[in-house]
Structure formats: structure tokens, C-alpha cells
Amino acid sequence: MSAAVTAPASGAPAASRGILLILLLPGLVALIITFLLPLLWLLRASFASSAVGALSGGDWTLEAYTTVLFDPFYWRVAWNTLVVGFNVAIFAVILSYPIALFLVRTQSRFRGVLTALAVAPLLTSSVVRTYGWMVILGDRGVINSTLQSLSLTDGVIRLTNNSFGATVALIEILMPYAILAMLSGFGRLNVQLEEAAAMLGASRLKVFTRIVLPLSLPGVLTAALLVFVLAISAFVTPRLMGGGRVFVLGTEVFNEATVTLNWPLAAALSVMLLVLFSSIILLYQRALRALEV
């Protein structure tokens, strides 16, 4: 008799859990095939020796990792990558913040159009946009030509084929991501809160620093994370804009994979990139929890 009493109670939740699992299955399978398996292959490859063919069932060796971990060149590469990542993240966020704030608060009837415009660059391939920057920053590009025609400079200012050009291009290319992230992260902002603060005696500056800024911080953090992660994995823009002088993890992985054909090394560098990702994400989650309201 007790079985008849308990069965319905446990049966219902189990059934709905089963249905949930079945619904999730296609997505899980897709994720496993396109994401998990290549990741596992990558890990396996990083432990192979650099002789070709070693990937298909060769020995396991730490050769690639010892190179990556003990060669000072790669420490510099990793450091460059982090520096580029931080610079791009900081400036992209600073430049995007006023834009996102405006879009979230404006009552204009063009709000939708303006938002679409801010995000529209994402419709263009980043390679095309990088070439655009080469035209703007190049030795005979828009900026140099203008400065010279205005007689403001004598020679050419090196704005591209270096770290500066790569950073500037990356900042602009990644700004739409920052704007999008902030737009969704600014959900807690509310005009009434600002009015309340003003009524309590807060000047416009105080309203910004005490109310708007703290409440927009989660959005800012998310944007910074997104841009940072995209920046440290970039390789097309640093390669094209860097004139071959910008050595970041992305470009090194590309070189090892396609030029020197040292796939295990390329894999090990990729793993290093993944480790960097994960640490930053952990930091981000900590920060977010600290801000939690």
C-alpha cells in the first residue's frame, strides 16, 4: 500500500527530467562533436612529438610543453598577448561606455536605428575591417596624407605595421561586442534611481559616480571580459596590422600550424591560450560575485 502512495510522488519528476534530457540531446551531441572532441584531439596533439605522423598513435611526450614553458621567447609572446588583451579591453570599454549608456537611456525615436548602427560593423568581416584600418593608418593612408597636406608633419608617422596599429584596429573591431555586452548588462539602470539620488542632493557627477557607475559595473565587466577573450585569441588583425612584428599567441599558433608545421607545438600554444582564458574567466566570476547585490 505504501508503494502505491509513494510511486506517483517520485514518478512525475523523473518523467519530466527524462523529457528535459531528450530535448537537450541534439544540442549536447552537436556541442560534443564540434567542441569537445576537437578539444580532446588538441590535448592529445600537444603531447605528441613534432615528427609528422606522430599524431596518429605515436608516443606521448612533453616536448612541446617544455618548449613552451621554458623558452623565454614564448613567455614574451604570452606577455605580449596579455598586454594587447588588456589594452584593447580597457580602451574598447572606455570608448564604448558612453555609447552604450546613451543608447540605453535615450528616448529618441531613432533609438533602434542607432543601436543597429552601433552594432552593424559586426556584419562586416573583421578581415575587411582590418584592411580598412590599413588604409586609414598606412604610410600613405588617410591620417598621414591629411597631416602632411596640412603641413603638420614632415615625414611619415608609423601608425601601422606595428603594435600600435594592431591595437587600434582591434579596439575598433571589438567595440560592437563591448556595446552589445553593456547594453544587456545595463539592465539595472533606471532613470528613477537617478532622480531619487538627485532629490536626495546628489549633483550630476555624484549621481554618475554613486549610482550609474556602480550599477553599470556588471555590464562593464562582462564587456571587458568578452573583448579581452576575443583580443587574446586574435591572429588575423595582429598579423595584418602588425607588419610581422607583433608576436602574440594567435600568430604563433598560426605560424607553427601552417609554416613550420610543428603541430604539437601549435597545440601546446593553443592549450596555453585556453589556460589563460580559463584563469581570466575565473577571475571575472569572482569579481562578479563580489559585486553581487
Partner 1 sequence: MADHHVIIDNLVKTYPGAQKPSVDHVSFSLPRGEMLALLGPSGCGKTTILRMIAGLIAPSSGAIRLDGRDVSAIPVYKRNMGMVFQAYALFPHMTVAENISFGLEMRKVGRAEREERVRKALDLVKLAGFGERKVSQLSGGQQQRAAIARSLVIEPELLLLDEPLSNLDAKLRDEMRDEIRDIQARTGVTAIFVTHDQDEALSMADRLAVMSAGKLEQIGTPLDIFDRPQTHFVASFIGAGTFFEGRVAGPGLAEVDGLPLLHFAGEAAIGSSIKLMVRPHRLLLAGEPGQPNSFSGVVEHIVYRGQILTLSVRCGSRVLQADLPTHAGVLPKKGDNVTLTVAPDDVTLIGREAA
Partner 2 sequence: MTIRMQNGISRMFLHAGIIAAGLAAFAGAAEAQDASIKGTVNIVGFSGVFADNYQKFVIAAFKEKYPGIEVTYQQSKNSAETLALLTLQQADPKIDVALIDVSVAIKANKSGIFTKLDPAKVTSLAEMPDWARLDGDKAVAFSQDNLAILYNTDSVKQPPTSWNDLTDPKYKGKIAAKLGDTRGVILLPILDKLKGADYKDSVDPAIDMLKEIAPNVSTWEPAPDCYAVVQSGEVDLSICWNGRAQYLHDTQGGKIAVAAPKEGSIGQTNTIGLVENSKNAEAAQLFINYALGTEAQATFAEKSFYGPVNTKVTLTDAVAARIYGSKEAQAAQMSLDWNFVADKYSAWIQRINREVIALN
The window from 116-124, 180-188, 194-202, 257-265 that contacts partner 2 (CB under 8 A) reads 257-265
Q: Where does this chain touch partner 2 (CB under 8 A) — which range of 9-17, 22-30, 136-144, 182-190?
A: 136-144
| CA atoms within 13 Å, Cβ hemisphere of 24 | 8
Q: Between 59 and 292, whose beta carbon lies closer to partner 1?
A: 292
Q: Which of residues 43-82 bind partner 2 (CB under 8 A)?
A: 51-53, 55-56, 73
Closest C-alpha among 82, 1, 93 to residue 275: 82
Q: Contact, 249 vs 78, CB < 8 A?
A: yes
Q: State in Å, rounded, how far the first CA of the chain is from the last one.
A: 49
Query: With respect to partner 1, which residue has the nearer C-beta, 172 or 194?
Result: 194
CB of 212 to partner 1, least distance (A): 11
Residue 166 interacting with partner 2 (CB under 8 A): no
Interacting stretch for partner 2, rule CB under 8 A, among 41-49, 137-145, 184-192, 206-214? 137-145
Q: Nearest Cα to 74, choosing from 266, 236, 218, 207?
A: 266
Residues that bind partner 1 (CB under 8 A): 188, 190, 192-193, 195-203, 206, 210-211, 214-215, 291, 293
112 lines the binding site for partner 2 (CB under 8 A): no
CB closer to partner 1 out of 176 and 218: 218
**Pure H helices in the chain:** 2-31, 37-46, 63-70, 72-105, 111-119, 126-137, 142-149, 163-185, 191-199, 204-206, 213-232, 236-241, 249-258, 263-291
User: 194-233: which residues touch partner 2 (CB under 8 A)?
Assistant: none
User: Among residues 119, 84, 85, which one has the least CA distance to residue 99?
Assistant: 119
